[in-house]
Structure 1
């Protein structure tokens, strides 16, 4: 079924028209309502006049859908979903040859959704940010076109941005809307987000589901990515020995067939294990190794953050400042709010700007991590604020913060 009606509804609502205002002099309100809900056949003259009133290009609403191109789009989208890089690269040139303005509204919407997935798959995060913003202007339209792809790709985007609460809402919606077969890429993304939210049992469940599917397909790179999530979860529950053993085994399979991102992840997580053991020399080597691979800097801001933290512990002010400034540049470039906040806190600590840090914690930091439902981060920043309040002899406020740092996030 065409989504012409849903597209008109989305643009109508975006521009603030009521059904009565849009229909006035063109058609009955009842007809417009049925058109928007896909319950009546399309009258081209009516659609033409509705487009004129909404100041929309009529062409996408009036031309016939190119079914051959539509099928090509569907195959491109399918390859993106399963991370089939070679097939995606093979089809991309012909997809991009067709101008978006020359597509029907149905093909435009499918193309828009697939393009977000393509940008994410190819690590074009700045393009992905622009594309996601476009989809979020008319979410009902894109949900009508392809709810599973819309929810999955926007969820994946929010995960890459560190907006974990937003991400898991979308990923769960994708999971609820898809009944054809299990989707391993969705599962591994959900496993990663649940790990970040410290929900280890659910994270392990989805990581194991994804691993089983990838194993059936002999997709070794993604099997290793699943194992990385499981290794991280060992570390998060305090089983550092098992986590270390896990990642050392993964390091041994580090070969030419692995993606740079996977290899960087292995080294980063070995560094994180050493960091938790306070073996800072080994941690630095692993973090620095992770940053040598050809990866998107935004995905490895945590390595840069922990390098800055270690430099501060070692009282190397110059190196700490260098990592903080580089981290802030990358976080600002990719509009990564989570790490803008984390590096800014380190910067205030390094420069001993206590009053500014207190205001920043109370005005922005705590609310961000509470909204994002990151319990561990929230506890740590409440504890930091408690220490600052105690130093300022504001004992009542300090006690409140220390209590929150032990109680955790109440959801």
Structure 2
């Protein structure tokens, strides 16, 4: 079964004709039938053909058989976010020539797209996805659903959250035994501010990660569940849950996740207008992050806003911090943070008119195009209050209509 495929692969790899390969061993017709698995053949002929090709047939057959297992190990490493294992298996698979003739070659390409997305290379992922979509009718039911999962993650990376949800919700559970996609659905629903559905899917992913003993991803799902809860009566319980997660991150030596939990704890304090605690935890989160990264800028923006609203740092220092943030955002080409820090500069310099002009003309269109639901809503409210306070009734009515329709 495997011998013919392997012989054909290496014959074509070494640019041999069937006549050249079979010379003094067997006929062209016999070679053709062996390669197409249309005849029986003796072990001696396979041995002679293998020697001419310079391969160990038994070893090659084992490699071909093990590709499936290797791919599922790679998928597990991706789900577990075990980056060291993920990179090692990727390197091994890149050197595995027989993937080209394996029945799992499409699965390999799909997981490769997922690997690209994990490394924040959306363009490479998109190229791979487009190639797979052209032969979608050749995919197994499992691969069809894996394609939907990868495509959903791609849409999320491109800030197309509604598309991500629409795609992920078409996954058929009976053909796809990877409930990890519930987590990506939860993230997408959270981003469009749909807390009930975000909590529902986060809880389902939490169960899956627990069953896998994947405790780092359990932290991710638990954090997502906490964020959806806005119960002022149980606010102390929410704080306790965040602090418990911080301890879990410390026990598992997971500084990146600890930084995320600290940021969300800061955001919770900011929501409650406890600006002193908010700025404290934003600062602690920043200390664990690479300064040349969007996640650092996210916490820096929160730190500046909480320090400004709480009157915790003088204006000159805040302007200096904001200019620092704008410099980083410009250098790493993060348009979202370029807008956010420019807005902060107008705010800190008391340029109210310029702030709202920039918000309406530059920032809000970008937020809308990218689907930043929270920022869209906040911006429209700010513009509505500004127009109302300045007796710009037509503009205020337009913003009111936009808020109602949203």
Correspondence for 1:366 = 364
Question: 1 CA distance for matches of 2:397 and 2:347?
Answer: 21
1:208-357 aligned at under 5 Å gives the runs 208-235=203-230, 240-293=235-288, 297-313=293-309, 314=311, 316-328=314-326, 331=329, 336-352=334-350, 356-357=354-355
Q: Does 1:129 align with 2:125?
A: no
Correspondence for 1:17 = none
**Cα offset for 1:381?**
0.7
Question: 1 CA distance for matches of 2:331 and 2:231?
Answer: 29
Correspondence for 1:4 = none
Structure 2 SS opposite 1:179: helix
Q: Indicate if the aligned counterparts of 2:293 and 2:332 stay in contact, CA closer than 8 A.
A: no
1:78-227 aligned at under 5 Å gives the runs 78-83=75-80, 85=82, 87-97=85-95, 103=100, 110-121=107-118, 124-125=119-120, 128-135=121-128, 138=131, 140-141=133-134, 146-160=143-157, 162-173=159-170, 176-227=171-222
**Cα offset for 1:250?**
2.2
**Cα offset for 1:130?**
3.2
Distance change (3 Å), C-alpha of 1:219 and 1:89: same
Correspondence for 1:6 = none
1:126-157 CA-partner distances (Å, limit 9, x unpaired): xx233234246557237555443333234334
Structure 2 SS opposite 1:251: helix
Give TM-score, length-normalised by structure 2.
Answer: 0.68
Q: Indicate if the aligned counterparts of 2:266 and 2:279 stay in contact, CA closer than 8 A.
A: yes
Question: 1 CA distance for matches of 2:322 and 2:136?
Answer: 40
Question: 1 CA distance for matches of 2:195 and 2:235?
Answer: 15
Question: 1 CA distance for matches of 2:132 and 2:353?
Answer: 41
1:369-408 aligned at under 5 Å gives the runs 369-370=367-368, 374-390=372-388, 392-402=390-400, 404-405=402-403, 407=404
Highest Rg: 1 or 2?
2
Question: 2 CA distance for matches of 1:69 and 1:379?
Answer: 52
Q: Which has the higher contact order (CA 8 A, sep 6+)?
A: 1
Distance change (3 Å), C-alpha of 1:170 and 1:77: farther
Question: 2 CA distance for matches of 1:140 and 1:360?
Answer: 41
Give the number of aligned pairs: 338
Distance change (3 Å), C-alpha of 1:96 and 1:340: farther
Q: Indicate if the aligned counterparts of 1:375 and 1:408 stay in contact, CA closer than 8 A.
A: no
Question: 2 CA distance for matches of 1:332 and 1:164?
Answer: 25
Alpha-carbon RMSD across the aligned residues, in angstroms, is 3.8
Q: Indicate if the aligned counterparts of 2:191 and 2:373 stay in contact, CA closer than 8 A.
A: no
Give TM-score, length-normalised by structure 1.
Answer: 0.68
Question: 2 CA distance for matches of 1:303 and 1:346?
Answer: 14
Unpaired runs of 5+ residues, structure 2, are 1-62
Structure 2 SS opposite 1:225: helix
Structure 2 SS opposite 1:198: coil
Q: Indicate if the aligned counterparts of 1:328 and 1:344 stay in contact, CA closer than 8 A.
A: yes
Question: 1 CA distance for matches of 2:318 and 2:97?
Answer: 48
